[in-house]
Amino acid sequence: MSLNYALVVNGPAYGTQSARSAYQFALA
C-alpha cells in the first residue's frame, strides 16, 4: 500500500493519467 500511496501523491507530478491509473489499481 505504501507504493500505491506514493504513486497517488506523486501522480500529479508525473501526469494525471498516472495518478488515475494508480488510483484505479489501488481500488482494484
CA distance 2 to 16: 19
What is the Cα–Cα distance from 13 to 27, expressed in whole angstroms?
A: 21
- Per-residue pLDDT, averaged over 6-22, amounts to 67
**How many Cβ atoms from other residues are within 10 Å of residue 22's Cβ?**
20
Q: Find the radius of gyration of the CA atoms of the chain.
A: 8
Q: What number is the average pLDDT over the span 3-27? A: 70
Domain count, the chain: 1
C-alpha cell at 9: 501523491
Q: What percent of the chain has pLDDT over 90?
A: 0
Range of the domain at 23: 1-28
Beta strand extents in 1-28 (DSSP E only)? none
User: Per-residue confidence at 16, pLDDT binned at 50, 70, 90?
Assistant: low
